[in-house]
Structure 1
Amino acid sequence: MSRSNRERTETTRNALIEAARALFVSKGYADTATPEIVEAAGLTRGALYHHFEDKRALFEAVIAREAQAVAEAIEAGSPQFGTAYEKLISGAAAYFDAMAVPGRTRLLLLDGPAVLGLDELGAIDRENAEGTLREGLSDYLSESGKPLDLLDPLTVLVSAAFDRAAIAIAAGGDRIDYERAIAALIDGIGADQLRR
């Protein structure tokens, strides 16, 4: 494929993803029809079905892009140097910043699980923010002298706490309170003896 063809393909995909994202956020997945998406993107239905099998595949692309953006924001917001604890706390703030992007909480935490299912959404998350969290927790446990045998369930539980906090913040909860609660949770992981 020539460079200009690749650029056109990428431009078309981006237009579809951006138009779909806006409609999924404003109307929800179920109430968004593919003709609306192609009209908003200024494209044809043929272009949509050339790039995506169906509306669900397009939604998955939107979710993957959102998840990647969150992971990139966490990476950018986490210091290169410092303790694992400091990196986790900075990463938490970066996560909440990333989730404050309008529509992101709805897409990733409400509609995403309903449309894609927990397994598929979990796979996307593990490649992105949850994968970053797992690395951070691994470093933190190691620095705290704790065994890594509970790393996987701790990652799932702490990730769920982050997600629940983001939902509460989006609904009007006090972000500072949730950041403090996440810090207390992370403190507890480092301070308490984790048992088998």
Structure 2
Amino acid sequence: MRRTKDDANETNRRLIDVARKQFAEQGYEKVALEQIATEADVTRGALYHHFRNKRGLFHAVLEAVQQEVGERVEEEASKSDDLMDQLLQGCRAFLSAAIEPRNKRILLVEGPAVLGWDVWRELDEQNSLRHLKEQLVFMKEQGVLGDVSVDAMAHFISGALNESALWMAHLEDTRDSMEETMKMLTLLLGRGR
């Protein structure tokens, strides 16, 4: 029976979904490709057809997580008409998404460890950091930001968010730390007292 492109895309999506769940719950080292194939109801051959190896599958999972986080950042930021509020809401959305149980292990711990910082940063650049830079460019064009380097500011904010997410990921209750982080960010951006 000949498989269609839609069938292949559906198999690919199912494999990524199952792998994401298993990587989040068990960690990269403990997950076996056979487990993923079984739960996704595909053969090992089909898994290897879509992903060359476990690392390739993990890369696809991290890419999916990064893309989802980036979309959430953009969605939350678009809920306000105020440019600074858009920036702050996008930052909050990043933090919230990054520390979710289904994301934090993949995004914050295993992504950099398994694939390396260069790959992790490349995926971040295509997603969350891209949205951050676009927002900062627009804010600068609208006169909301002074004479600052957008690249420097984007990396500064991104670094602060990533470090805050790592800190928050180890806490049982993140409500206070989220508010403390957003207060610091607001102060750093000159909106707080």
TM range (shorter): 0.7 to 0.9
Answering whether residue 164 of structure 2 is matched by residue 175 of structure 1, we say: no
Match of 1:11 in 2: 10
Q: CA deviation digits over 1:17-36, x for unaligned, max 9?
A: 11111111121111212112
Q: CA deviation digits over 1:62-106, x for unaligned, max 9?
A: 011111111111111113652321111111222233234322011
Match of 1:30 in 2: 29
Kindly provide the amino acid, as one letter, of the partner of residue 182 in structure 1.
M
Residues in 2 aligned to 1:83 and 1:37: alpha-carbon distance in whole angstroms:
44
Match of 2:87 in 1: 88
Match of 1:121 in 2: 120
Residues in 2 aligned to 1:170 and 1:86: alpha-carbon distance in whole angstroms:
24
- The percent of aligned pairs where both chains have the same amino acid is 31
Secondary structure of the residue aligned to 2:4 is helix
Residues in 1 aligned to 2:128 and 2:33: alpha-carbon distance in whole angstroms:
29
Do the aligned partners of 1:66 and 1:104 also contact (CA within 8 Å) in 2? yes
Do the aligned partners of 1:138 and 1:148 also contact (CA within 8 Å) in 2? no
What is the CA distance between 1:182 and its match in structure 2?
3.5
Do the aligned partners of 1:89 and 1:183 also contact (CA within 8 Å) in 2? no
- The residue correspondences of 1:1-196 to structure 2 (distance < 5 A) are 5-79=4-78, 81-142=80-141, 143-149=143-149, 151-172=150-171, 174-190=174-190
Compared with structure 1, are the counterparts of its residues 81 and 21 closer, same or farther at alpha carbon in structure 2 (3 Å cutoff)? Answer: closer
Give the gaps of 5 or more residues in structure 2.
none
Compared with structure 1, are the counterparts of its residues 159 and 105 closer, same or farther at alpha carbon in structure 2 (3 Å cutoff)? Answer: same
Residues in 2 aligned to 1:136 and 1:146: alpha-carbon distance in whole angstroms:
14
Match of 1:194 in 2: none
Residues in 2 aligned to 1:160 and 1:81: alpha-carbon distance in whole angstroms:
24
What is the CA distance between 1:46 and its match in structure 2?
0.5
Q: CA deviation digits over 1:115-136, x for unaligned, max 9?
A: 1111111111111011111222
TM-score relative to the length of structure 1: 0.85
Compared with structure 1, are the counterparts of its residues 145 and 152 closer, same or farther at alpha carbon in structure 2 (3 Å cutoff)? Answer: closer
Residues in 2 aligned to 1:145 and 1:165: alpha-carbon distance in whole angstroms:
23
The RMSD of aligned alpha carbons is 2.2
Give the gaps of 5 or more residues in structure 1.
192-196
